[in-house]
Structure 1
Amino acid sequence: MSWYGQIHVAVRELVLEKFGEDNWKRILQKADLDDNEHFMVFHRYTDSVTFKLIGAVSEILGVPVTGVLEVFGEYFFQYCLKHGYDKMLKSLGEDLTSFVQNLDSLHSMLAMSYKNIEAPSFRCETNEDGTLILHYYTVRPGLYPIVIGLVRAVGRDLFNTNAILEVINISSQQLTEKDVQEHVSFKVTLVDKNKNTSKSAKVVYQHSGEMKVYSRDAFTPTIPSNLQISAKNFCLVFPYHVIFDKDLSVKQSGIMIQKLCPTLSEENTFMEKCFNLVHPRMKFTFSNILTFINANFVLEIKLKGLANDSSIKVKGQMVWLEDVDHMIYICSPRLASLTELMEKNVFLSDIPIYDVTRELVLLNQQRIAEIEISKKLDETTAELRKTSRALEAEKQKTDMLLYQMLPVKAADQLREGKPVEAEKFEDVTILFSDIVTFTNIAAACAPLQIVSMLNSLYHRFDSLTNTHDVYKVETIGDAYMVVSGAPEISETHAQKVSNFAMDMVEDAANVSSPATGLPIQIRVGIHTGPIVAGVVGLKMPRYCLFGDTVNTASRMESHGVPGRIHVSPFTYNKIQGGNYLFRTRGDTEIKGKGTMHTYFLIGRNDRHMKEPDDEFTDEGDYPTIKVSHSGENATTAEEELTRSSSLTTQSPTIKIPDVTSDKPITSTTCIVL
């Protein structure tokens, strides 16, 4: 058995409207359904798919399945009203009882367009106290809560009535060896919302601006005493009818139905011999016919030697002829399209002119064509959505790759065909790093080993750029360059680069050299100053930085020490007061720059880096010096150092005499900012 996708679409609209998009995404994930593939209105889906969707809704929303079905039943009626079925539903009956009684007719009509629809069946009985007994028959057990919500919505929205439903009995009926039908009985109590509203059967209409009321109760039909038609003419005028008794023995039939079913013309024939009962789904007995007397009856004509697909169905009404204790079945061929008409070898001329079946066939032919177009449109839309999602995913990949090569701002301008103008930044911080003894490692190892080592190292560094919000400019061999303060201006660019530098030195120790198997060491240099930046090139555009600041940062790295962060005095002054820890390197001869007083960044007050075992680590006999940068007694780092000891400069290290011994010690001084 299967459902049309309209049920799935209604469930989706219900969840989105009542519970939001986040819950809907969780439901789709839980049910393992695709938002496009499994929600096409005119496609059919197996019961397992639909029940999986309902189960996921129940689990994600924390509502029992019966509660979900009841809410869905109520919402589905409102969904139908909003999607073009309002006039059809409002014209079914003048009250709730007649509405329910005619639901089978509606389902029968819809079945002409929606092939193989598995519709339930309804029947109503009126009690003396004004309550109703609603009978619900279905081959899908357990779905009766939908009826509760549906009837409640019909009473409220169409008849201004509160419908209170109570399940009084649930039973099963074995129809065939394979088919089992569930029968649920409800007691329905109707309460008017407006106590002053009369429930009598009246029709109100407007004519020439004047409102008039027509009461059905006032009508009295005229019935003749003698029937003015012979049996022969009756069979000609009503070519599709069968009269049978309580034993289902056929007593009379119309000429056209005899043509379709020759067995009817035989003497002592029975209904079960001529027809299979298709709807309502029940055993073909007289008592069952009486029970469903107000339902549409669909019978399949039994023809010897013909496949089921070639059989002809008739649809009509059973009427009890009380005066003769017989039942008459007045029907018409149940044909959905001109194609089916031709397949069954039936012609429009075989159908009486007064019979609306002619018009229904023609109208439904158009409806079927529209449904086919809508179905293809559904498929095309679903495919376009799938393609759009795939395209969006690829676009995101392309954007991510582009944003790794160029700043977002510059990339967006290039994509829009706009020129990217160069910018001047008054204050940025640039970092360079390289791998110690990289030339020796490259000479001793295979190319793939070198690439693997660099890839592992740069993956770590790239991740850190996101953590510290710095921009990776480029990598050239073993050199890695980042900047902060450009292309996005930042007031804390020096702090961001300093924090990034400390993390990258520590992370580099987690990558081993393929030559020795030992952790690799990097040199890091940092400098702060002005630059000019812009995109250069057309074929492979790159975001480039220009200015002496770039050169100086590169010199800080090339004149640095393995495992240490070499900082220029400009960067040092920029982050004073930020609780960073430094060792002064003293005056150092920098190629192309002359003598510069530089520093090693070794941590923060809350974080002390592990230092390499070199000549700058030995603090021996020298105390840590705190430098004050504010207040009345503010001093510079140089003044503090001068008061602490006598410094003798020796490039590239500083020799400081021991205050308690004549033995000179080569060291640096730790400064807390």
Structure 2
Amino acid sequence: MYGMLLESIQHFVQLEYGEEVWMEILQEGGVKNTVFKTRQQYPDTLMTNLATALAKKNCTSLDTTMHFFGKCFVRFFSNLGYDCMIKATGRYFCEFLQCVDNIHMQMRFTYPKMKSPSMYITHVDPHGVVLIYRSTRQGFTQYFMGQLFQIAKDLYETTLDIRVLESSNNNPGSRNVMVKFRIDFDNRDYIAKTRRMNAPNSRKELSPVPCNLLLELFPFGVVINEKMRIIGVGEKLLQSWGGSSSILNTHVDEIFKLRRPKGISFTWRNVNYLHSVMFELELVRSNEIINVENVIDKPRNTQLDRKGSQGGRSILLKGQMRYIHDIKAIVFLCSPLINSLEELPSMGLYLNDLNPHGMSREMVLAGWQHCERLEMMFERAEQRSEELEMSYKLLDQWKNKSDELLYSMIPQTVADRLRAGSNPMSTCESFESITVLFCELCDFNYSTIEGVMDIVSSMNAVFSLFDSLMDKFNVYKVETVGRVYMAASGAPDRTKHHARNIADVSLQLINRVRFLKLPSGLDIQIRIGIHSGPAVAGIVGLKVPRYCFFGDTVNTASRMQTTGIPGKIHISPDTRALLPSDLYHIEPRGTLWVKGKGNMETYFLNEKQESRISENKNQSSILT
């Protein structure tokens, strides 16, 4: 479907429910588009997804929501001036129903890929009509009914009562839908007008006109009897076929293919129902091109002589099917559809073949004069549309990349607040209890590793390993300064298990580094220090913003790391108090003098013996 249908939904949902509800149903319906382009095509499922989401939001049925969407479309295109075209179809609502297909045919020039439904009236009375609706879209019946209600109310000042008499698919497994409606409304004025037109004329009637004269006026016309056989054909159409009279008394399906209206069979009954609808017939072409010069030397085929249908392009005939009571037959009053002069040779036609009394010649010549300019405009518009679509795709890709980069520097919850316009200082919060980890790479200097690039590659391998473990244990990486890696748990996402999260990730760091193969070939050890307590965290500054931690807890955790031992996890008494003794093996280190703290009783964190044995087995199996 074209974007204009979705634009109408967006406009009136925002108008009646607000921008917040619109964004919610977009997210609920899985729709990524926030703006729809009028002439761009979108999947039909977008509308049903939006209707399902809005129905769930308002606690209403899907039918009610689709009905509302149909009304929205009529109100929307009325603001764009399309209501004038509908009003011009006739004085009465019944005349509009008879001309809907003609409106869709005209709209194809503006929206060439439009998949319009087909509809026709089978019964008319003073109290309403019986309407047959056919479509290739499933689930749009209520949407169509909403359109009819709003058109009748706004443009014809009448009210409708619509009932579904029958609903079925044309074929099992097919997406084609056929619905039979009974539409009740005040139709007395239209019936009165029809009776006046059909009343006998008091003046003297004209003498009958020969059918041959009618076909001379319409040289592409066709006369069809009740058995759907051709009993008369215009001279120019006969020449296009090949000048053979074998076309007469042939079933119409053997000569023509019904292009429009779509979704119906080419029968006498349907043609009479659709007397006010424009028909399009395609002259059936032969698959084999016959050389006209050699036709005389070869015997005639018993089948139809198609020697005149060897043109490369099909001839499309557009016109009205009219029942003539005097001859008990239908006359197809038509003209060929020609877009430019270049199409004439491929069809085997000339300007002289077109009706001299109609507008066919003038339309072809006028179209030729403006064709080149229009084609350039269409090409430019199509090129700009493709460029715009590509720009939107690139914009989404770069937005995702920028989001990944931003979230790697700042927590997502904090970054979203900054995007909403919050002051950076408003992101600063105090946390009652968090756990901070400092980890330093030991024996990592120029005397043991040759070359700066070896240092960089080795540090990258170790820190990349650390990064891969942080999200797994709900730990936030704060920063790296030289050979020191800092992380925290309990901020910005509060959790009461922050000490356990840091303890678990620390044990993993000790074990993983032991088996890590560095580019320099050196066995690296790490020294970890942990402390728990209150802290303040937030973003300070404008350039190169980072989510930083402040407070004595950070300083004490750093002291635990600097006074630790390589290969050990050094923890403070506050962290020791938060760790359950049945899950971890904690070894007292004794009293230690800590700068700024004085004497402090500290501990080493070790995992249980059985856990270490199983971890060693797992690591060995991975390495082998």
- Normalised by the shorter chain, which TM-score bucket? 0.5 to 0.7
Aligned position for 2:591: 616
Aligned position for 2:97: 100
Aligned 8 A contact 2:102 2:278 in 1: yes
SS of the aligned residue for 2:145 comes to helix
CA distance in 2, matches of 1:89, 1:66: 25
Bigger Rg, structure 1 or 2: 1
Aligned 8 A contact 1:563 1:612 in 2: no
Residue 260 (structure 1) aligned with residue 240 (structure 2): yes
157-166 vs 8-17, greater mean Cα deviation:
8-17
Aligned position for 1:294: 276
The one-character-per-residue Cα deviations of 1:134-168 (angstroms, maximum 9, x if unpaired) are: 12234567643343222112112211222221011
Aligned position for 1:350: 353
CA distance in 2, matches of 1:77, 1:372: 30
Aligned 8 A contact 2:232 2:248 in 1: no
Aligned position for 2:88: 91
SS of the aligned residue for 1:310 comes to coil
CA distance in 1, matches of 2:176, 2:385: 33
Q: After TM superposition, give the deviation of residue 384 of structure 1 in Å.
A: 0.7
From 383, 387, 400, give the equivalent of 1:393. Answer: 400
Aligned 8 A contact 2:98 2:121 in 1: yes
CA distance in 2, matches of 1:172, 1:552: 75
Matches within 5 A, 1:2-151: 19-28=21-30, 35=33, 50-51=44-45, 54=48, 58=52, 61-62=55-56, 66=63, 69-83=66-80, 85-111=82-108, 115=112, 118-124=115-121, 127-138=124-135, 143-151=140-148
Aligned 8 A contact 1:250 1:268 in 2: yes
Q: After TM superposition, give the deviation of residue 335 of structure 1 in Å.
A: 2.9
Letter in 2 for 1:391: W
Distance 1:277-1:180 versus aligned 2 partners, 3 A rule:
farther
| Greater percentage in strand | 1
CA distance in 2, matches of 1:268, 1:293: 23
The one-character-per-residue Cα deviations of 1:529-580 (angstroms, maximum 9, x if unpaired) are: xxxxx99xx9x99999xxxxx99998886457875568xxxxxxxxxxxxxx
Aligned position for 1:512: 510
SS of the aligned residue for 2:161 comes to strand
CA distance in 1, matches of 2:279, 2:547: 78
CA distance in 2, matches of 1:460, 1:103: 64
CA distance in 2, matches of 1:162, 1:79: 20
Distance 1:314-1:437 versus aligned 2 partners, 3 A rule:
closer
The one-character-per-residue Cα deviations of 1:293-323 (angstroms, maximum 9, x if unpaired) are: 2222222224526479722121111222334
Distance 1:5-1:359 versus aligned 2 partners, 3 A rule:
farther
SS of the aligned residue for 2:275 comes to coil
Q: After TM superposition, give the deviation of residue 100 of structure 1 in Å.
A: 0.9
Letter in 1 for 2:259: V
Q: After TM superposition, give the deviation of residue 98 of structure 1 in Å.
A: 0.5
CA distance in 2, matches of 1:36, 1:307: 51
Aligned position for 1:475: 481
Q: After TM superposition, give the deviation of residue 282 of structure 1 in Å.
A: 3.9
Q: After TM superposition, give the deviation of residue 184 of structure 1 in Å.
A: 2.7
Unaligned runs of 5+ in 2: 286-305, 420-435, 516-523, 535-539, 549-553, 603-624
CA distance in 1, matches of 2:170, 2:547: 77
CA distance in 2, matches of 1:434, 1:72: 60
Letter in 2 for 1:91: A
Residue 522 (structure 1) aligned with residue 528 (structure 2): yes
Letter in 2 for 1:615: G
Aligned position for 2:622: none
Matches within 5 A, 1:391-430: 391-399=398-406
Q: After TM superposition, give the deviation of residue 87 of structure 1 in Å.
A: 2.5
Residue 325 (structure 1) aligned with residue 328 (structure 2): yes
Aligned position for 2:383: 376
TM-score by length of 1: 0.58
CA distance in 2, matches of 1:180, 1:612: 73
CA distance in 2, matches of 1:181, 1:378: 31
Q: After TM superposition, give the deviation of residue 525 of structure 1 in Å.
A: 9.3
Letter in 1 for 2:152: G
Aligned position for 1:190: 185
User: Cα RMSD (Å) of the superposition?
Assistant: 6.2
The one-character-per-residue Cα deviations of 1:211-237 (angstroms, maximum 9, x if unpaired) are: xxxxx99x9999664459887765544
Matches within 5 A, 1:165-176: 165-170=162-167
Unaligned runs of 5+ in 1: 193-197, 203-215, 413-430, 484-492, 529-533, 545-549, 567-580, 583-600, 618-648, 656-666
Q: After TM superposition, give the deviation of residue 387 of structure 1 in Å.
A: 1.0
The one-character-per-residue Cα deviations of 1:505-536 (angstroms, maximum 9, x if unpaired) are: 775344225687899653469999xxxxx99x
CA distance in 2, matches of 1:654, 1:184: 88
Aligned 8 A contact 2:128 2:186 in 1: no
Q: After TM superposition, give the deviation of residue 385 of structure 1 in Å.
A: 0.3
Aligned position for 2:260: 279
CA distance in 2, matches of 1:248, 1:551: 97
Aligned 8 A contact 2:475 2:501 in 1: no
CA distance in 1, matches of 2:502, 2:218: 95
Letter in 2 for 1:616: T
Identity of aligned residues (%): 18
Q: After TM superposition, give the deviation of residue 99 of structure 1 in Å.
A: 0.5
CA distance in 2, matches of 1:242, 1:401: 74
From 140, 152, 163, give the equivalent of 1:155. Answer: 152
The number of residue pairs the alignment matches comes to: 519
Letter in 2 for 1:376: Q
Q: After TM superposition, give the deviation of residue 26 of structure 1 in Å.
A: 3.6
The one-character-per-residue Cα deviations of 1:31-50 (angstroms, maximum 9, x if unpaired) are: xxx6499x7765667xxx53
Aligned position for 2:621: none
CA distance in 2, matches of 1:650, 1:336: 92
Aligned position for 2:338: 335
Distance 1:392-1:162 versus aligned 2 partners, 3 A rule:
same
